[in-house]
Structure formats: C-alpha cells, structure tokens
Amino acid sequence: MKKGKEKELIGHVVDFVEHGKVQAAYVLGHKDRRLRVLLQTGREELIPRTRILSLSRFPYKASTRQEQLALLALRERRREELKQELIMEELWEVVVDETEEMSPEELAKVYFGSEVDDDQIAAILRAVLEDRFFFRYREGRVLIHSRQEVERLKEARRKEEERLQRQEEGLRWLTAFWEDREEDISKKTKNYWIKALKDFYLYGEEAQGARETKELLQRAGITRPGLIFQILHKAGLFAEDENIELLRYDIKESFPPEVEAEAQRVVARGFSWEGRRDLRHLPLITIDGPETRDFDDALSLHYEADSLVVGIHIADVATFVEPQSVLFKEALRRGTTLYLPERIIPMLPRSLSEEAASLVVGKQRPALSFLIRLSKEAEIISYEIFPSVVCVAKRLTYQEADNLLATDEVLKVLHELARKLFARRLASGALPVLLPEIEIRVRDGQITLERLEFTPARFLVSEFMILANFVAARYFQKHNLPAIYRCQAKPRERLIDGEEHDLLKNFLQVRHLSKGELILTPEFHHGLGLPVYTTISSPIRRIVDLLMEHQILSHLLSGKPRFSAQELTNYLRNLSSVLEAASNISSRTFRYWLLKYLQKEAKGKVLSGLVVEVYQRKARVLLPDYMLTVDVPLPPTFTPKVGMSLRVVLKNINPREDLVRAFLAH
C-alpha cells in the first residue's frame, strides 16, 4: 500500500477479529504493513490488514481520544443492535435460489434496501460470521448454503445438541451409579452408556463413539481400564472372571444352529469303508492328558523281517468336514481349538471332535494311517500313507505311559526309537528348547496349577508326531502337490546344544529364536532340524492340519490335490489374523488366571527367582515355579549378575489390569 493510501485510512472505523470475536476499532495510523488502531478498551494495537473484515467508506472526525472512544462505542452498539434484529433464515430464503455468493454490501442491500451504511454492512458480516447454517464468509465474499447443505447442518446441530445432553445425563448417571445413588435418568440413556463403555473397554480407540466415551470418562475422573471393568461388572454386564479376550474377538463356545445340524447329519451318515484298509487288528494306543476328549492321533508297533513298522494313525476328520460346507467354513473362522484354563472351545462341534471323529478306545474310526518302516537305528527305510479303519485298544495318560515305560515292551521300543529320531534331528542342527510348561485349570471356581516337565511319554508322542508331519511334507514335495509348509530360520544366536537341560540357558535361548512361518514352498526348519515340514497330525484341533489331510487324502484317492496353490494362498491370507487372534486369546487368558492364582496363593510370600536380565535400576527375574518374569527394582548399591538367585516378594497383583509388582525380599 502506498503511503498516501495508508494515510487516508486514518479516522476510518474497521471491524476485525480478536480472539474469535468481531469488534470495532478506530484507525490511528500505520507501521510497516500493519494498522495502528484504538480498541474500545482504550488500548492501542497493531493489526495486519488480513485481519480486517470491514472498513468504513469514509473517515470519522474524532480528534480527541475521548471522541474516538465515544465514536467506537456508538458504532459498536448500533452494529450489534442491527445484528440482533437480523433474521438470517428469512434473508437466506430470499437469496438461496438466486445465486451462490454475494458481497457483504450486496447482501446488506437485499435486507436493508438499496441505500446501506457502514453499520448495516458490518452488521450483516457479523451475523454471517456467527451463522452456522445459512451463510459462510470466505475471502471477502459471502457464500450461500444450498438447501441440502442447510438441512445437513441442521441435522448435525441437532445431533450435537443430543450429544451434549447425553453427555450431561451420562455424567450424572455414572457419578450416581459409582456412588450407589439413585439418579432420574432414562433407561435409554443408561443403556446407551453401558453399551458405549463396554465397546470402549473391548476395542479402545476403534470402538464406535470412542471420542465421546473418552470425554465422559475424563469428566468423571475415570482413567484406568480396570475401573471401567468394575462399572460394567457392577452393572451386571460382566462376570468377575469374564474372559474379555473372547468378547473382544467375538469367539463363542457354542456353534451356530446350522453348524450343529450339519454335524449331526454327517455323524448320522457315518463313514464309507470304500478305499480303506482294515487295520483293526493292530493294537493301537493313545497317549494324552487325563482330561483329553478329542483324540486325533494313535500309535502302533509291529515287526516285519528285520525292521520295525511304526504306525501313526491320524483321525480322518476330512471325511466328515467337506470343503465349502458350513462345518468347514466354521472351522476356518475359528482356526484352532482353544484350550483355556476355564474351558475348551473346540474348532468343530463336540459330536465330531469328541465322538464321531475322535479315536476313542474301543470304537471303529476312519483314519489316515502312516506305516513307517524304520531300521533299528531309526532310519526311514520306507513308508506308506493310506486311508484306513482303526480301533484303539488302549488309552493311556502321560503319567500312565511314563509308569509303564520300564515294563511295557511296545512303549520301551517306541521310546528308544524316539530317542534315536531325536538324535538324528540334533545331528542335522535341530534346536529344541526344553522348558517346563505351566498348566492351569479352573473348575468350579477353584484354580489349580501344575508344572509339567517334558517327561519320556510326552517326548515319545512328540517325536512320532514330528515324524508323521515330516513324512507328509516329503510326500507333498515328492508329488509336487500344493501344501502349507512350516519353516523356521536359523536362530540369531545359539546358546545351547539341543540337549541342554539348564533352565536359564533354555530360557535365554528363546529370545534368540527366529519366528516360525507358514509358507507354500518347502524350506528348512532349523528348530526341528528337518529339510521340510508340515503339520497334519491334529486335524481335529487345527485347521491347517485339516487342510493338509484333505490334500493328501484327495491325492491318494483320486491322484489330484483337493486345493490349488491359489486356494491355499487365500486360506493362509485369511488364517493369519485368525491364528494370531487365537494366540492372543490363549496367552492373555492364561496370564489372567496365573496372576489370579498368584494373587491368592503367592502374594506377600518369599519366592525364589533367577536374574535373566539387568537394567540400570531394575532386574528382570524369572520365577521358575510359575515360569513368570517380573521386574524387580534394585537399590543403588546392588547390581546382580545374570543367573544369580534372588528372593523376591510379589505385591500389588491385579489380574484384570495385568499388573504384578515384585520387590527384593528383606
């Protein structure tokens, strides 16, 4: 702006925005590109031209400060009075169908007539800036909202008013509910907030209406997730030990009616003997946990000439669960059987998983049999895979099998073969990590904990399942069939030799293992020391095993695979999230019940621990009795070494908030 032009602005009255509010000011002068103005408060301020909304067409004569302030007061009062008189909806109705935008002066003429003054133009502009429905000001022009836009804005305003009212009622309800007071709130509002709190507790930021719920919780001073749970528990929505992970992932123990109905149909239909070899003469045994009901593998042993024939018989689930059936689709949706401390959630209905497809002692069952001929040194001489009919002769628990190992000839030979198979895998680079397993059971509200060691019977069963899975993978590879393989890259660092039983070394080794993967190409499995590997031994419990059972049976019976490589790719893509969810549910549920057990049985007691990691002011300590790690604060004068034994005390255990605090015992 030229100096002459700037000088001409002295004495003009301007409207500008200050802290979001429009106010009038008197121009006293200029500095650089800013105007020096007098405010109604008597204060002077420098404002940039960009903040000016309106400018009087002529300067006003006001030579003294008192006259200038009086002028501002008069202009401000008249502009506000004119603004209050305006009915914006009536003005909008006049112009909405005529044009999309106008200048403030043009709009003022529509309302006030052809002759308008500065105050009328400023009043129109002030009203437009305050308006929320009909007009919008942008770069000196007034935009006229369409009828559709006005309806949208009105609806948005209505919803916002509802939201604000809901917030106030929600705050009153929540405060009263927490304090055990009655509050006159509608049932609709109560139900709304209970559902909102539940969704927010389960899904956090991804919950519908998360921002609104967070606002309510902040206003109520509720900051911890555990407090939200307490509210929902108090409202009767959650049981004290509600499995939140099952709700979060929408996993139900019961099956949809159509799935149960189909299970009943296939059970009633039974299985066909066509194409099956009768192996009922072989004395099969199952070895499982005492509470197992879904038996999907059995073992047999017989001799042929100078070799041993180990039979690994897998429940033929595929004959009951056809691809594209509702049973199959439900199994895909679940992915795996969930073995949780308080319940078992099967992948397939119990009429199949625990009865018709399960290798129950004394019952004729369809199976996929692996007859593997081994030398006395456990070298694979040959193998056969075929559909069969079997009948389990004996059911043993792991404990019973361990007790019989010294006297039962079959178990003794199987165990010796398992040892030699294991030695071969070790020689090929296998890296088994031998850590005890903690088993927690919850029955009738009672929590029991058992520390399971890797006993000979468990070792025996594990080794022959690995053998069957390896042979199946070789079959897929030999016949160039699409398959889902499992692989594991080399460990990042090797701390043990594979037969190391030292607890600390095995525990530390876990951190250096590479993650196992499901892939469609055969690759080396460094954890098992095998050139190729799949899983087929648990089709009752794992969908991947069921897919592979379908694949191998189809090829055996028709010479063709059941699934193409593309179909398996699609299954894997969908299963990755399903199996991850199952893993999260299992680990988090286990940890909840472990902390609940410790809260009751170990809180305040002195426990033995092993230092597994040392930080600047704390140590991570493994509690071997529970295979749980805790962080223990350290005094400034004490720095333990990894492997050192410590005595610790657990305090502040909160299973619902996954909180456990440990301290050095005095």
Domains, the chain, ranges and CATH?
3-148 (2.30.30.100), 149-238 (no CATH), 257-592 (no CATH), 602-664 (2.40.50.140)
503-545 pLDDT, tens digit each = 999 999 999 999 999 999 999 999 999 999 999 999 999 999 9
Bridge partners, residue 314, by sequence? 297, 368
Residue 223: per-residue pLDDT: 85
Segment 211-228 shows an average pLDDT of 91
Please report which confidence band the pLDDT of residue 4 belongs to, taking 50, 70 and 90 as the band edges: very low
Burial letters 241-261, b for 16+ CB under 10 A, else e = bebbbbebeebeeebeeebbe
Segment 44-62 shows an average pLDDT of 89
Q: Is the pLDDT of residue 136 over 50?
A: yes
CA atoms within 13 A on the CB side of 90: 7
Segment 621-639 shows an average pLDDT of 94
Residue 1: per-residue pLDDT: 44
In 471-595, at which residue ranges do the beta strands (DSSP E only) sit?
Answer: 485-488, 516-519
The amino acid occupying position 56 is: S
Q: Is the pLDDT of residue 53 over 70?
A: yes
Residue 472: per-residue pLDDT: 98
Segment 358-379 shows an average pLDDT of 97
- Token pair 């018989």 in the structure block, residue: 313
Q: Is the pLDDT of residue 2 over 80?
A: no
Segment 261-265 shows an average pLDDT of 97
Q: Is the pLDDT of residue 375 over 60?
A: yes
Q: Is the pLDDT of residue 183 over 80?
A: no
Residue 482: per-residue pLDDT: 98
SS3 of 578-597: HHHHHHHHHHHHHHHHHHHH
149-174 pLDDT, tens digit each = 999 999 998 988 988 988 999 999 88
Segment 75-90 shows an average pLDDT of 93
As a whole number of angstroms, the distance between CA 663 and CA 651 comes to 8
554-601 pLDDT, tens digit each = 999 999 999 999 999 999 999 999 999 999 999 999 999 999 999 999
For strands 21-31 and 13-18, give the pairing.
antiparallel
Write the CB contacts of 632 (distance below 8 Å, at least 6 apart in sequence). Answer: 609, 618, 619, 620, 621, 646, 648, 662, 663, 664
Residue predicted with more confidence, 181 or 279: 279
Please report which confidence band the pLDDT of residue 7 belongs to, taking 50, 70 and 90 as the band edges: low
Segment 252-266 shows an average pLDDT of 96
Q: Is the pLDDT of residue 404 over 80?
A: yes
Segment 361-386 shows an average pLDDT of 97
For strands 380-397 and 277-278, give the pairing.
parallel
In 118-263, at which residue ranges do the beta strands (DSSP E only) sit?
Answer: 135-138, 141-144
Write the CB contacts of 129 (distance below 8 Å, at least 6 apart in sequence). Answer: 22, 53, 137
Please report which confidence band the pLDDT of residue 30 belongs to, taking 50, 70 and 90 as the band edges: confident
Residue count of the chain, please give it.
666
Angstrom distances, CA of residue 438 to CA of 349, 441, 590: 27, 10, 9
409-453 pLDDT, tens digit each = 999 999 999 999 999 999 999 999 989 999 999 998 899 999 988
The model's pTM is 0.81
Write out the DSSP string of 311-362: EEEEE--TTTS-TTSHHHHHHHHH-B-EEETTEEE-SS-HIIIIIITS--TT
**Out of 89-103, 167-181, 622-636, which region has the weakest mean confidence (pLDDT)?**
167-181
